[in-house]
Amino acid sequence: MLLELADVTFSWPGAARPTLQLAQFNLAAGERLFLHGPSGSGKSTLLALLTGIQRPQSGQIRLLGHDLTALSGPQRDHLRADHLGYVFQQFNLLPYLSVLDNVLLSCQFSRLRRQRATTLAGSPEAQARELLARLDLAAYLTRPVAALSVGQQQRVALARALIGAPELLIADEPTSALDAERRDAFIELLFDCANAQQTAILLVSHDPQLAHHFDRQLSLPAINQAAAEAVC
């Protein structure tokens, strides 16, 4: 298993009740999972736990066999840098870096991903160019980020999340700023690139229309036992 959660409970400091209570949640290597989570269902909390930003009060989270709950903050950061790609809802890019440098950012914090990118394409920069070409952004390599449309920015974020072939890509509502047509095109590109390097996908969205693209779908409110009372 790529990712395994068991009996996880998490409550934010000062909150009376837990925000998240999950008996079990698994993700296999290379799997594509759609997690349907409307706002207030504990979505942000789950993502903070999966990326190792937060640590649950109880339970186990295993990423590639490493127990995140037993690791220190910097160790979790290290694991995230090596094995996770992350795409935000929007504003994914550092405005003062070029498109290419934004993509290469992932390799700056992980030697493993630098090595993998080098194995795959010859050098991190070569893989960045390859990914950007595949995402139809070859003409924008040295452009300032501000000159790009929202859709283009999301695709740059995709390239950054995928460079160095991480095992898992987590996307948090990556298409909510796109219209329907570009949304489907984005998902197709995402799958296309992820497949090429065996990266598993966990996409969280409140929009159930995306679900049919995926191998499997789950509803977060259904599996989160704390959801009914949650306020967040």
Partner 1 sequence: MLKIALRSLLHRRLTVCLTLLTIALSVLLLVGVERLRTEARQSFANTVSGTDLIVGARTGSVQLLLYSVFRVGSATNNIGWDSYQALAKDRRVAWTVPVSLGDSHHGFAVLGTTPDYFRHLRYADNRPLQLASGQVFSRTHDAVLGAQVARKLGYQLGQKIVLTHGSGEGALSEHSDQPFTIVGILAPTGTPVDDTVHVSLDGLTAIHEGWESGSASLLASSGVLAADESRAIPPPSSITAFYVGLKSRTGLFGYQRSVNQYPDETLMAILPGVALSELWQLMRIAEQALQFVAAFVLVIGLLGMLTALLTGLNERRREMAILRSVGARTWQIFALVMGETALLLISGIALGMGLLYALLFACRPILRQVYSLNIGIAAPSLLEWLMLGLTLAVGLIISAIPAWRAYRLSLADGLSPH
Residues of this chain that interact with partner 1 (CB under 8 A) are 44, 47-48, 51, 53-54, 73-74, 77-78, 80-82, 84, 86, 88, 91-97, 101, 105-106, 108-110, 160, 172
CB 149, min distance to partner 1, A: 19
- Residue 4 one-letter amino acid: E
138: closest CA among 156, 116, 121? 156
CB 119, min distance to partner 1, A: 19
Q: Which is nearer to partner 1, 87 or 135 (CB)?
A: 87
Q: Mark 182-200 as b/e (b = at least 16 C-beta within 10 Å).
A: bbeebbebbeebbeebebb
Q: Which is nearer to partner 1, 101 or 130 (CB)?
A: 101
CB 87, min distance to partner 1, A: 9
Rounded to 5 degrees, φ, ψ at 84 are -120, 135
Start-to-end C-alpha separation, the chain: 29
CB 173, min distance to partner 1, A: 11
Q: Which is nearer to partner 1, 77 or 207 (CB)?
A: 77
**Residues with Cβ < 8 Å from 7, sequence gap 6 or more?**
22, 23, 24, 58, 59, 60
Q: Which is nearer to partner 1, 106 or 199 (CB)?
A: 106
